[in-house]
Amino acid sequence: MKTRILSLGLLAASALVVLGAGACSGDAAGTVVPVGDGGVVPTNDASTTDAAAAGEDAAIVPSTGCTAPAPASGLSSKNLTVGGASRRYQLFVPKGLDPQKPARLVFVFHGLGGNGDQIRAYLGLEAQVGADAVLVYPDGLVRLQGRTGWSEEDLPFFDAMVAEVSGAVCVDQKRVFATGHSFGGYMTNLVGCLRGDVVRGIAPVSGGLVASGACKGPVAAWLAHGDRDGTVPQSEGLAARDRWLASNGCAATSKPVSPGQCVSYDGCTANHPVLWCSFPGDHYPLPDYTRPAIWDFFKSM
């Protein structure tokens, strides 16, 4: 069976097999991965927060989980059978979540060789979202050199997770988001592209975009990438940014937004901003602002 491994062909073409041996977030094989940077909460420019604008995107669409019994709070392990394979993800329901108020649903994708536990610790988003979002940490399958990774074949797994969580927890079906680092950044971009009719916004960090088909419409995008990334070159992130600029009808001009390393592009279609953050540094550690900025972007819409 032909498996489409995200970024493999692209990285090979760029002589970047280093992704298979590099330091992606959550990478195994002896790589020491930093866990958390202790963030400084940034304030996004008003131009990025007029999201929650008028129109169809501002509507709340409660899931069927809003009529289900209140879910237990905390972290729980879940298993799904998709395409004959058993798949695992972890669901985090924050304490204090209103069981009848539709919450944002955020998927968090790990890097090459990682799993949900590692990306959960690395990004530390639970400290950012408070009681305002439900988080999902999926595990990839062993795909590349004996390591876990992502593929377009994982999209049915994503669909199944959306359906199961939406039926068990009260979430807003108009506010489904995705984020991830490294290989997880590739998967985040892929979900935004080929499931653009499901996700409202994405925040890929240090990743690129490889997809077999055309994207399914505009998706709000916040992207960050180090200018000296030796694992996934910044050119990959720039190419992904340019795809979103085109998809969202943005202009080539931009203006600085907080934090100072980020810009917001002009002229994007309503409710579909594109922000780009080029930070000085390598694949990791991430800048302090990254984690709170991801959540600030998601909660602005």
Q: What type of residue is 135?
A: L
Model pTM score: 0.85
Asked if 106 and 134 touch (Cβ cutoff 8 Å), the reply is: yes
The region that residue 206 occupies, defined by phi over 0 for left and psi between -120 and 50 for alpha, beta otherwise, is left
What span, in angstroms and rounded, lies between the C-alpha atoms of 17 and 76? Answer: 35
Contact 171, 71 (CB under 8 A): no
pLDDT at 28: 36
Bridge pairing between strands 133-138 and 141-144: unpaired
Token pair in block for residue 208: 């690129």
Report CA 69 to chain centroid distance, whole Å. Answer: 28
Domains of the chain, residue spans: 8-299
Residue-level pLDDT, tens digit, the chain, 301 residues: 334 434 433 333 333 333 333 334 444 332 222 222 222 223 333 333 343 344 455 799 999 999 999 999 999 999 999 999 999 999 999 999 999 999 999 999 999 999 999 999 999 999 999 999 999 999 999 988 899 999 999 999 999 999 999 999 999 999 999 999 999 999 999 999 999 999 999 999 999 999 998 899 899 999 999 999 999 999 999 999 999 999 999 999 999 999 889 999 999 999 999 999 999 999 999 999 999 999 999 999 9
Q: Please, are residues 262 and 277 in contact by the beta-carbon 8 Å criterion? A: yes
Question: Which superfamily is assigned to 8-299 in CATH?
Answer: Alpha/Beta hydrolase fold, catalytic domain (3.40.50.1820)
